[in-house]
A and B are shown apart, each in its own frame.
Chain A
Amino acid sequence: MSAIHLHFDVPGDDFTRAGEASGSTKKRLKALGYDSDAIRRVAIAMYEAEINMVIHANGGYCDVDVYPDRVEILLADDGPGIEDIDKAMQEGYSTAPDNVRSLGFGAGMGLPNIKKYSDEMRIDTKLGIGTKLYLTIKVH
């Protein structure tokens, strides 16, 4: 059973709004009294994934389930998919174009960061169909 369920649509055409889902989730977890280190791990992992959906996949949605001991997050898009997951997981690997880099992203650090801050991470991706990222973060 899920204690609290949050759902967010992430628009793909508005870079300035990317991060709103993660920010709202962070605020909610704070209000629920979770440990601030744990909240920060959730916020960073989710934010990196949310940004990825916007810059690589033209947006998508997030579902967040908050349990007493963990937060489970699904980030789903119907973007181009990831061709080589092993490569994508490497620090410094990025297919982001220069205009994304000038926005401060495209260092190829997002997926490695997500792995570092989450306790479980699973990627389901199909070329031309989309990507689903499942994250579990323990919160105490």
Chain B
Amino acid sequence: MIVRDIIDILEGEIICEGNLDQEILTACGSDMMSDVLAFVKDQSVLLTGLVNPQVVRTAEMMDMACIIFVRGKVPDESIITLAKARGITLMKTRFRMFTACGLLYSNGLSGGCKV
């Protein structure tokens, strides 16, 4: 799956465009950033309902290519500026966390580990 496929699956809207052809292997959904930071996976996307600059910084530390804001949440200009400078794609979807994760999972994306 590439970032572009996720736009289709989640009926997403791009807020800040990074590399849309980046291959994505796993996903992580959480509103607690230290939970995200606990499990490193390669080529992962982050789904979150949290909207602040630390979401972008967390993705930066984890080498994540794309952040998906669920429930139609919209990041402000400072968040977009941070993401742009780091080449991270920002996307929003109207789906809620459970549904958004379920849609990606049933389209072949996994959590990257057995638990």
Contact = CB atoms under 8 A, between A and B. Distances in A.
A104 B38 contact: no
Interface string B20-50: 0000000000011111011010000000101
Nearest to B53: A16
Interface in B46-62: 48, 50, 52-55, 57-58, 60-62
Given A18-B54, A22-B61, A104 B40 contact: no
A103 interface: yes
- By DSSP majority rule, is chain B's interface helix, strand, loop, or mixed? helix
Contacts, number: 72
B106 interface: no
B61 to A, nearest CB: 4
Interface residues of A, number: 26
B5 interface: no
Contacts of B63: 36, 40
Top 5 A-B pairs ranked by shortest CB distance? A109-B34, A19-B57, A43-B61, A107-B32, A104-B33
24 contacts: A15-B52, A19-B53, A19-B54, A19-B61, A23-B57, A23-B60, A36-B63, A40-B61, A40-B63, A43-B61, A44-B37, A47-B61, A48-B34, A48-B37, A103-B54, A104-B50, A104-B54, A105-B54, A106-B32, A107-B32, A107-B34, A108-B34, A112-B38, A113-B34
Interface of A: 15-16, 18-19, 22-23, 26, 36, 40, 43-44, 47-48, 51, 101, 103-110, 112-113, 116
